[in-house]
Amino acid sequence: MQTVPNQPIECVPTVVVEDDRTGLSVETLKRAFQDNLFYIQGKFANIATQNDYYMALAYTVRDRLLRRWLTTAETHTHQGVRTVAYLSAEFLMGPHLGNNLISLGIYDEAKQAITELGLDFDALLQQEEEPGLGNGGLGRLAACYLDSMASLDIPSIGYGIRYEFGIFDQDIRDGWQIESTDKWLRYGNPWEISRPEWAVEVKLGGHTERYTDEHGRNRTRWIPHEVVMGIPYDTPILGYKTNTATTLRLWSAAAAESFDFAAFNSGDYFRAVQQKTVSETLTKVLYPNDESAQGKKLRLAQQIFFVSCSLQDMMLILIRQGIPLEQFHEKFAVQLNDTHPAIAVAELMRLLMDEHGIEWDTAWRITQKTLSYTNHTLLPEALERWGMGLFSTLLPRHLEIIYEINSQFLDDIRRKFPNDDARLSRMSLIDEAGERYVRMAHLACVGSHAINGVAALHSELLKQDVLRDFYELYPEKFSNKTNGVTPRRFMVLSNPRLTNLITSKIGDGWIKHLDDLRKLEAFVEDADFRQQWRDIKLAIKQDLATYIKQVNGIDVDPTSLFDIQAKRIHEYKRQHLDVLHIITLYNRIKANPDVHITPRTFIFGGKAAPGYFMAKLIIKLINSVGDVVNNDPDVRDRLKVVFLKDYNVKFAQRVYPAADLSEQISLAGKEASGTGNMKFSMNGSLTIGTLDGANVEIRDEVGAENFFLFGLTTPEVYELKAKGYNPYHYYESNLALKAVIDRIASGGFSNGDTNLFNPLVSTLLYKDDYLLLADYQSYIDCQDRVSQTYLDQEYWTRLSILNSARMGKFSSDRSIREYCEDIWYVKPVAVELKEYVQAGTGLA
């Protein structure tokens, strides 16, 4: 046998071929994108639209999420982990695509892949329809918290409503807000997966009846007038550079029987589809106008709908995992995000007792240990209450349960505070004064084991004023959890240039540990660093100036001070105080055209509730003042006024990084927290503000010398109102203020029409609930300090850097850690990502 002499073995390199559904390289992303365009969108390049390209990219990214999402669900199910259920009527998520690319760590790779295919990556990002499933801060906070829970590996589910039409699209015509339908689903939503097999039934209306069960127990049966199906739609929420992807589960209403064949055959075509139409109306629109009785009914129906769906879903999860319902509170920590989900107290009791046969005392113990309540307002009118007639008609069984809860609750009060009928009246779940109402905030307080405010001042005011009686009864329930925002969206995604500069100096650990931004303080005295900081800010402002020119047709100077107020339009937020300052500067110019004025661009953004006339009139005033100021040759472009339409998350991502000055000027004691103030400061904006909401804590963190403070404090507001506030006195005694009001009243901004702004002028002079005239001079003096400070750009840049560097406290990651430690008692669960193989599906 011939032997082969020893020869060197040639090493063949191992070739790794990435799976087209999970691979992260540029070449794999290109292949996956083209496959999705062809096989999912059913298009080729010659006929594909911009939306087709966006959808193909979205599906490419979603494939990479699904592996993490399903692995997370499998891990949590296998371990039976304690889970946070976050119930919120709003989730203002913002566009998903860019955020998911950041979280996956493939933003640059995706951009390169799309660019190499000859497409405009930025245009595809802008193509995404933003889900307008929130009105403002409440919904955006919920979205930030979902991001943080996923990034911190906290087992969690967000529960809400899949509104077919979100918050309205805003246009401005002749200075007035015009609303149009937000059709965010018109081209489909590539991020969601429908789960019709997990649908649940929700009962509405009807009556109750008593019966005796097989064990001889007295029970109650609810015979509903109507049954609606809740269909869950799931969206994966990927944490930043972690394997955890949690779930946002939104409920859509459908008819139990969508088509009446007998009615159709008899020729009654309307009745054939009537039930489908009525049922689906439930989730048609975010916050229906509740001025009418029908609007109120629909809004209450929305609340019980998503709460009942969510609680039933949790029970199904328990059943699938083999966990007894008596351990509901051990499996789930349910957070009520404001009063909208407060009906959960009665609904969880109903489900446990009526549907699963659990006795009252046990059900009540489970309910209280499960639920916790976040209050988001200091405005009494925002604490929801429902008329007894509506409540008894729509939710007869819940009213019976609330009566029993109230009876036992009032007995508790009598034992602790005997002979105090006034306290009983104030605290009762039923408001007996005049028309009777169910007080939802009271129900939430009684039925929850924890109650928290959202800023230190807010939490103290809850204890001293709004919920004082409940604090005196349940002091152990109360705590503060100051709001936070996610730096992933509002710095990394929104402000990549600043992100890259920061990372070049201190590394990227700050993105998940925002306190690391403190390391920037070491560079405050570095002249080169300050110059880079200024150059980036100027470039961002130039981008916004270009956008303003395109959208509004107004030329603005990017070197001017960008003074921005972007938030929901409301009298207590005092956008019109900002306008009084603009008119003050304009009056100075008209008195002396050569007076020195630090150039400013005033930028406003925000939506007014469709039925809120005064807020709409404020928008009209802003635009009318802008029309005059922007076109007066005496001004010589030193002042510009811009109202940017359609404020949403996309808008915020464009505007926050460009601000030099953030206007946080609500009357002290009115704003619960605010989160826009945090987003502006993180991006290097300085703040002018009152000691209201989270402003107090921001000022504490950044330093009093780095914050422009003005206005009355909360105790001073209370004192002034107690003495009898007379706004007309301030008008008469302050010549500058009088000149401002007189210019508005005389038609100076309305082509001589003295009636147009009369409602606003009269309210300020004779009512002024939010004390604009009392705070006016302090505000003007403070703004003059702002103008003087801005002239020294080196000093201003130091302040800007310090504002960013000291914002670590205001990460939503910190907020979520506090909730987990103090209220939810939920721990992180690491998810180990396994390679996907087809055999891993569990099928033979």
Supply the residues annotated as catalytic: 376, 567-568, 573, 675, 679
Query: Under a CB-based contact definition with an 8 Å cutoff, are residues 690 and 778 in contact?
Result: no
68 Cβ partners below 8 Å, 6+ apart? 236, 238, 243, 244, 245, 831, 833
Give which of 675, 685, 676, 692 is closest to 706, Cα–Cα.
685
**Which tokens is 687 given?**
């703040």
Give which of 476, 426, 425, 468 is closest to 448, Cα–Cα.
476
- For CA atoms 16, 22, 24, 30, the dihedral sign is positive
Give which of 305, 282, 306 is closest to 294, Cα–Cα.
282
Task: Please tell me what DSSP assigns to residue 285.
Answer: B
**Which tokens is 515 given?**
């306190």
DSSP assignments along 15-34, one per residue: PPPPPTTT--SHHHHHHHHH
Distance, C-alpha 818 to centroid of its chain? 19
> What is the rounded CA–CA span in Å between residue 375 and residue 337?
7
> What is the rounded CA–CA span in Å between residue 362 and residue 352?
9
> What is the rounded CA–CA span in Å between residue 102 and residue 509?
14
Distance, C-alpha 672 to centroid of its chain? 14
Task: Please tell me what DSSP assigns to residue 799.
Answer: H
Query: Under a CB-based contact definition with an 8 Å cutoff, are residues 429 and 438 in contact?
Result: yes
> What is the rounded CA–CA span in Å between residue 486 and residue 671?
20
Query: Under a CB-based contact definition with an 8 Å cutoff, are residues 574 and 770 in contact?
Result: yes
Burial class (CB in 10 A: 0-12, 13-18, 19+), 715: exposed
**Bridge partners, 201 (sequence order):** 229
> What is the rounded CA–CA span in Å between residue 485 and residue 501?
21
CA of 16: how far to CAs of 13, 35, 85, 690, in Å? 9, 20, 41, 59
Instruction: Give buried/exposed letters for 771-800 (b at 16+ CB in 10 A, else e).
Output: bbbbbbeebbebbeebbebbeeeeebbbbb
